[in-house]
Structure 1
């Protein structure tokens, strides 16, 4: 990201950029910042294409066209499929060696094969920026910066509490920060009570609470949480997937803790935020390895029951929660 920030700041642009990775918020943010920096609002020298099936010859022709009364032409392409070897990838990867100095190509992709010709061509001719999930420290600094710009203060402990409720999706964090800023109008310090009052608990947090209720044999509470998720229009099969994922993570964490691994190492190996890894480590203590394995197998049985038509999706999750297979 440092290279992107410097290029935007210095107005010294490479001929081609690739923005990819899991963090949609960052991809959209840098896409818009590059667009504004290169075009300065000029629509005459800006071309936008989206989706598979783009006409390679048309894009090459546009890219070879001199900008009209401007330094550069910007051609923005989103989800082309070329970075996974889609039709036209060969022609476009060959063209990247011949982009005019007056043209800037920007690719924004969901899926990328780093071994493919397109990726290698971008790396050679320009810059590929992987915009992945940020760790808790980076998210905390970013969120605190937004609050500071709005005259708000927050302690490290309260920030950790905030992130534990919002998760690591930056778009969601941004939305929750807006709610907090509005709610605390006239006050400087953000408190945990403010966060509890206005911040929406993410689905994954409800799943975590559901697993905790199961561990404590609070079947009624787990069922209530399940009903809450159904009220929020969450499909039963997605809930089942999230429960299965949680138990799989518990199993992995249990094994790593058993080997003497620390929280930071576990977070790194499982690609989790450190505060999430810490929560899972605590939750794993409530189960034996055999109990976790039992629930992992129950999740498999539940999915199989739905696929074979033996159970409805809603009943499958209810039976899993009550452990009545």
Structure 2
């Protein structure tokens, strides 16, 4: 089932007896669970009507027994099951044994007063399993994947509007650049900006620059941008700012390695004709991050990126064995790299 359709169904009161929610976008998944809960359970009944299990330590037979038991003093109950065993790919990590056939039987005749919701925090389900095929055939699976940048901006705009504020387009784009695409982090900063703007106020790019700190990962992205364009002084300024924020040089180096490695991978895959969406799927990155990294990768040759990764590996060893001072070792790397540029 499509996520937008699932939200529409809940709004219309069409609730399915079983849901299998999977994906890496935890914020949207939590929002879905909350909407479902609001539609079925009164706030004062939540303690009795919301039940949680984990297939890692509770047998499926126990979960299904609870599902088939009539709710106590409330018309409906929701059973939320965190699952890394029944639907997920990979080796099951459970201390108990499960009999998937029991769930297959339950899906054919589910309890009318119970909504059984499985939360699978993995990018994909195991399509080889009969239990997955059955859930898909009954339109009970919902994928929670990261929103594309444009949809994220639309979602941010709607959230600001719901609070009686207007979100400037440039402000939304700058917010994404500063904190990335994590929806929970966006909510925290956007709500703060709306509060600052006041009733019927406008959230501007100036407010974002003033009130929203740049995440370490995003600062490292900016740092590599400075190195690529020979703006060494600005790169060193960013580095010193990160040190003032008590960021560890070894952590910053690890982030640099990840960024250069992503650039190398993205450059190679792009050269093979893969689209940004396909690259995002292969590397487990947000499409927006792939788009920005691809723009940055165009400034570096593959040979230069490979050489930088080799140099960082040597520096990592030297820093961790005490041969080089951590702070000055990384600063010297930035100075050398900035002077040489991306060629």
Q: TM-score range by the shorter chain?
A: 0.7 to 0.9
Q: Alpha carbons of 1:133 and 1:234: their partners in 2 closer, same or farther (altered >3 Å)? A: farther
1:74 aligns with 2:82: no
* Pair 1:15–1:295, CA change in 2 (3 A): same
- Equivalent pairs, count: 319
Q: Which residue of 1 aligns with 2:68?
A: 64
- Counterparts of 1:79 and 1:257 in 2: how far apart (Å)? 35
Deviations 1:202-249 (A, max 9, x none): 222101111123324555644443454455455555433321221123
Which deviations, in whole Å up to 9, do the C-alpha atoms of 1:153-198 show, x marking residues without a partner? 2343443233222311111111111111122225633321111111
Out of 100, 115, 118, the residue aligned to residue 104 of structure 1 is 115
Structure 1 range deviating more: 90-99 or 54-63:
90-99
The answer for the alignment partner of 2:143 in structure 1 is: 130
Deviation string, structure 1 residues 269-302 (Cα, Å, up to 9, x no partner): 3226565445334433433332222113234444
Describe the shift of the 1:293–1:136 C-alpha distance in structure 2 as closer, same or farther (beyond 3 A).
Answer: same
**What TM-score, normalized by structure 1, do the two folds share?**
0.82
RMSD after superposition: 3.2
Question: Match of 2:28?
Answer: 26
1:228 to 1:89, Cα distance in 2 relative to 1, 3 A: farther
| Superposed counterparts of 1:1-325, under 5 Å | 1-41=3-43, 42=45, 43-50=47-54, 52-84=56-88, 85-87=92-94, 88=96, 90-92=98-100, 94-98=102-106, 99-111=110-122, 113-115=125-127, 116-125=129-138, 127-185=140-198, 188-219=201-232, 221-232=234-245, 234=247, 236-255=249-268, 266-271=275-280, 276-302=289-315, 309=321, 314=326, 317-318=330-331, 320-322=333-335
Tell me, what secondary structure is at the counterpart of 2:193?
Answer: helix
Contact map agreement 1:96 1:125 (CA 8 A) in 2: no
Q: Which runs of 5+ in 1 are unaligned?
A: none
Post-superposition offset of 1:7:
2.8
TM-score, normalised with respect to structure 2: 0.78
Whole-Å separation in 2 of the counterparts to 1:102 and 1:171: 32
